[in-house]
Chain A
Amino acid sequence: DSGVTQTPKHLITATGQRVTLRCSPRSGDLSVYWYQQSLDQGLQFLIQYYNGEERAKGNILERFSAQQFPDLHSELNLSSLELGDSALYFCASSVAATRETGEQYFGPGTRLTVT
Chain B
Amino acid sequence: LAKTTQPISMDSYEGQEVNITCSHNNIATNDYITWYQQFPSQGPRFIIQGYKTKVTNEVASLFIPADRKSSTLSLPRVSLSDTAVYYCLVGDNNNAGNMLTFGGGTRLMVKP
Interface pick from B10-18, B62-70, B72-80, B93-101: B93-101
Say yes or no: A43 contacts B102, CB within 8 Å.
Answer: yes
Q: What is the bound-complex CA distance between A90 and B38, given in angstroms?
A: 12
Question: For chains A and B in complex, what number of residue pairs have CB atoms within 8 angstroms?
Answer: 66
Per the CB 8 Å criterion, the residue count for chain B at the interface is 25
25 contacts between A and B (CB under 8 A): A33-B100, A42-B102, A43-B44, A43-B87, A43-B105, A45-B102, A48-B100, A55-B98, A56-B98, A56-B100, A58-B99, A58-B100, A90-B43, A92-B44, A99-B34, A99-B89, A100-B51, A100-B91, A101-B49, A103-B49, A104-B34, A105-B46, A108-B42, A109-B42, A109-B43
Residues of A within 8 A of B (CB): 2, 4, 33, 42-45, 48, 55-59, 90, 92, 98-101, 103-109
Which 9 A/B pairs are nearest by Cβ-Cβ distance? A106-B43, A103-B46, A45-B100, A56-B98, A43-B102, A100-B32, A57-B97, A106-B44, A42-B104
